[in-house]
Chain A
Amino acid sequence: MSLPTLVNTATDTVSRYVEAFKMHEGQVLNGSNAQVQGTRRAAIERFETLGLPTPKAEAWKYTPIARYLNRGYNLFLGQPETSVSARDVQELLVPDLDAHVVVLVNGRFDASLSDIGALPKGVIVTNLAKAAEANAALFNAHFSQYASFENDALVALNTAFVQDGLFIHVPKNTVVEKPVHLVSLIAANEDLLVQPRHLIIADEGSRVKLAQSARALGGTKTFVNTVTEVAVGRNAHVDLYEVQDDEPNVVQVNGVHTHQEDDSHFRTSFFTFGGEMVRNNVTIVADGRNDESHMYGLFLGHGKSHIDNHTYMDHAQPDCFSNELFKGVLSDQSTGVFNGKIMVRQDAQRINAYQSNKSVVVSDSAQMYAKPELEIYADDVRCSHGATSGQLDQEGIFYLRSRGLTEQQARGLMLTAFARDVVETVQIESLQVWLDQRLLDYFRRL
């Protein structure tokens, strides 16, 4: 099955995708899951109604997403090319990380490149398309429950064209000791819109960690619109780490939508090294008592890259804790955006919610926009937020240089120190070590 082309008769982007949907409707998820079919139809209708976000939309004020999508990327609805080799995968693996490796090529599962290995009893690590059929009841109970497309055109577009991605289910009281490592590769001869969809379900008392890395091979332009849904059950722990290391030919919108039940822990850290435009949309609904939620990010803008972290921490229940720290280093003509909102609903008493955004701007032409928001309806809460943006301490640089370090070495040490506390949020040791080295190399080249 190869249907990579998109009709070009429609004039505007929204109509082009709506027409493409009508043409290819039956091809997705093999059309076998009736509930998904209904959801997809609702999603494309909603997409048509919403249209693409304009800069007037507050959530997209600094990121002109339509300008990117209007480039006319082709929809990828086919099977992956076979040009990807095991060596391509190898290069994206974290050294010394013993993991269950799942490989996606152009958003589709590649069984021959994956190396899932032995899993604890009852644990499912597979691809989304397969789970939609083989585990339909479980799938239907969670799919599209957390990533709402009601007011999000990008989630609507992803949902309408849902094809494949990663599916994880960890049953009650089961611990997946080794992390799952998701490697996503793009290999194409044309400019593509790729829309992976992941679903992670952690039942009561279970634990799982996911590490992700991605790369576009070759020089075609790619728009990756990912949606990840995470259901964290009672007393379950889920960690999600993502290394975003794309070349300037890749634009990505990355939605992570998490729902937490009582006593659960969720942690996510993003490390953004590159890409033309990266937008991370993180939504956490702490919908249980005594939840812990952690959101961290380190973004390193260079060249003309534009990195936008958009977070929404929704405290819907009492006695919860959340912590959020996003740090950036912006060089060249790059732009950083941080927009973080903490919502504390009326009955969510005794909440401790912290948010911090710090950036270092190392070039005169780089820019940082920060917009922290608090919306609190309960009266017994402790919330704090802060945003700072500045330059490296020149006195510190001089001190290091006065001991013989070059200016580059001095800056490298200072920036590594600045980034340190975000790297320390990673609870997988080999990933932390690898990130440390990557950062040192990156900062030394600045």
Chain B
Amino acid sequence: MALLDIKNLRASLEESGLEILKGVDLTVNPGEVHAIMGPNGSGKSTLASVLAGREDYEVTEGSVAYHGEDLLEMEPDERARDGVFLAFQYPVELPGVSQMNFLKEAINAQREHRGEEEISAGVFLKLMREKAALVNLDPAFLRRSVNEGFSGGEKKRNEIFQLALLEPRLAILDETDSGLDIDALRIVADGVNKLRAADRAFVVITHYQRLLDYIVPDKVHVMVDGRIVMSGDKDLALKLEDQGYDWIREESVAAV
């Protein structure tokens, strides 16, 4: 069974009614890494938001099956407890909210969902140190407030750190590479590569091909105007880097 099966997904902005997703089809199997590329405003981040359950969007048509279950019927936190993870494009700063308390509650929420006992303080601390090392984060940051005063790179590394900690089945990375210098990009990509697993799939949304030099995808999709208009392997990303998106626009118009 596919891990994620999106069929003819249409979604609009709740406030204005503006349609952003205009019939997305996408199938992701366990263990695969899919990259979604496309020009600004094509709907890539909206797709990530709809999958994570952000309430600013209204799904008007189509379906999303997550290991066979209707994902759209689930609350955002249910999705998370069931293994969906969104690495935010803009991680939120939460002054006064301790990173430690937050992550402990997050881990215990998952454990409760799986019918397991609460994590012990010792195991939790060990786990935190271990996963922080994966993305070169100083464990001291765990004592700080969530993302408060973090640099752009630290925030993105914190997202991958949380990904490592929560061990999702479906990880969606929403432009995790934007704003990162090459060193930070490498750290983030290395972290992701170490987390690739047979029972875990990634949907990597990016504007730039360079991330895909480090995280090599199984499939590359191009999104234009709210739909996936072309799919291919990693070479498609290279061609996009070379030639831009215009030729795709023309081909997709010609195909209609």
* Chain A residues within 8 Å of chain B by Cβ, number: 22
Q: Is the CB of B105 within 8 A of A414?
A: no
Q: Do A417 and B52 form a contact, CB below 8 Å, given A401-B75, A401-B80, A404-B113?
A: no
B55 cross-chain contacts in A, Cβ below 8 A: 398
Q: Is the CB of A403 within 8 A of B166?
A: yes
**Interface members, chain A 386-412 (any B CB < 8 Å):** 393, 395-396, 398-407, 409-410
Q: Which of A396, A405, A420 contacts B77 (CB 8 A)?
A: A405
Q: Smallest CB-CB separation from B102: which chain A residue?
A: A413
- Interchain CA distance A418-B85 in the complex, whole Å: 26
A400 cross-chain contacts in B, Cβ below 8 A: 94, 97, 102, 106
The number of residue pairs between A and B whose CB atoms lie closer than 8 Å in the complex comes to: 77
A418 cross-chain contacts in B, Cβ below 8 A: 96
A410 cross-chain contacts in B, Cβ below 8 A: 77
A393 cross-chain contacts in B, Cβ below 8 A: 92
Q: Is B95 an interface residue (CB 8 A)?
A: yes
Q: Is B31 an interface residue (CB 8 A)?
A: no
Q: Is the CB of A404 within 8 A of B109?
A: yes
B92 cross-chain contacts in A, Cβ below 8 A: 393, 395-396, 398-399
Q: Is B209 an interface residue (CB 8 A)?
A: no
- Interchain CA distance A398-B89 in the complex, whole Å: 13
By secondary structure, the A interface counts as helix
A399 cross-chain contacts in B, Cβ below 8 A: 88, 91-92, 94, 146
Q: Do A404 and B97 form a contact, CB below 8 Å, given A398-B76, A399-B88?
A: no
Q: Is B101 an interface residue (CB 8 A)?
A: yes
A407 cross-chain contacts in B, Cβ below 8 A: 75, 77
Q: Smallest CB-CB separation from A393: which chain B residue?
A: B92
- Interchain CA distance A188-B102 in the complex, whole Å: 45
Q: Is B50 an interface residue (CB 8 A)?
A: no
Contact-residue size bin, chain B (C-beta under 8 Å from the other chain): 20 to 34
Q: Is B206 an interface residue (CB 8 A)?
A: no
Q: Is the CB of B53 within 8 A of A417?
A: no
Q: Do A404 and B52 form a contact, CB below 8 Å, given A417-B96, A417-B145?
A: no
Q: Is the CB of A406 within 8 A of B77?
A: yes
Q: Is B54 an interface residue (CB 8 A)?
A: yes
Q: Is B47 an interface residue (CB 8 A)?
A: no
- Interchain CA distance A421-B105 in the complex, whole Å: 22
Chain B nearest CB, measured from A340 CB (Å): 23
Q: Is B8 an interface residue (CB 8 A)?
A: no
B88 cross-chain contacts in A, Cβ below 8 A: 399, 402
Q: Smallest CB-CB separation from A406: which chain B residue?
A: B77
Chain B nearest CB, measured from A270 CB (Å): 20
- Interchain CA distance A399-B88 in the complex, whole Å: 8
- Interchain CA distance A414-B102 in the complex, whole Å: 10
Q: Smallest CB-CB separation from A419: which chain B residue?
A: B96
Given contacts A401-B80, A420-B96, 4 further A-B contacts (CB under 8 A): A407-B77, A413-B102, A416-B97, A417-B94
Interface residues in chain A, defined as those with a beta carbon under 8 Å from any beta carbon in chain B: 393, 395-396, 398-407, 409-410, 413-414, 416-418, 420-421
